[in-house]
Amino acid sequence: MTKCRRDPQLSSPEAFEAAYVEAIDLVHTFRAASISLVQRRLRIGYEAACRLLARMASETTFVLPTQGGLYLYAPSAIGSELASLRGFARTVIRALQAGDLNPDVLRAEALRYGLATETPIDGPCSPTCACAELLDFPVQCFRPATHAGAAQDGDPALSTSTGLLPDAALTGKPSA
């Protein structure tokens, strides 16, 4: 951290840039994105700390804004997954507000945001499985995407790699 006297408002672009670089290191070191932390450690004013964190929230995936003007530190794997979920949620909310909740559009958006992957399935998983009687193969299956680092800590709750979502189960029709 800088020991010299600093402009508490970071009024010059150079002072702001230097403080921004320090603030990024600070947030990673303390694994926290707090206005008061940045303000105290960098010895700057409240508004300057707010501007630094607002910039981090707009330019990075590891600082996320929350309701009430607070910020959340999210390590890169979690941060990128949260950014994807936030983008997908905006799409769903817009569709709901427009009264046009189309499963094909939602699947395409889940693929676009990296929340799902599309996999062709040529046959039933077993002769006794319900899919053998319900679906005409081949079908397109949609699997939740596995995000980088999702289960790296060994916590199965963090893993997004779960079951299959067959196209036919979502639309009632087999894929062509």
pLDDT tens per residue across span 85-108: 888 999 999 999 999 988 888 888
In angstroms, the CA 68 to CA 4 distance is 33
**Mean pLDDT of the 30-44 span:** 94
| CA angle centred on 114, ends 84 and 175, rounded to 5° | 130
Decide which of 143 and 20 is more confident. 20
Contact of 77 with 150, CB cutoff 8 Å: yes
**Mean pLDDT of the 155-169 span:** 38
Q: What is the CATH number of domain 13-74?
A: 1.10.10.10
Task: Supply the pLDDT for residue 156.
Answer: 37
| CA angle centred on 116, ends 112 and 117, rounded to 5° | 95
pTM for the model stands at: 0.49
**Mean pLDDT of the 133-159 span:** 58
Task: Supply the pLDDT for residue 84.
Answer: 85
Does the structure show a pLDDT above 70 at 154?
Answer: no
Does the structure show a pLDDT above 70 at 3?
Answer: no
H-type alpha helices, the chain:
13-30, 35-42, 46-59, 76-98, 103-112, 131-134, 167-171
Contact of 142 with 110, CB cutoff 8 Å: yes
Does the structure show a pLDDT above 80 at 130?
Answer: no
Does the structure show a pLDDT above 80 at 46?
Answer: yes
Domain definitions of the chain by residue range: 13-74, 77-171
Task: Supply the pLDDT for residue 126.
Answer: 77
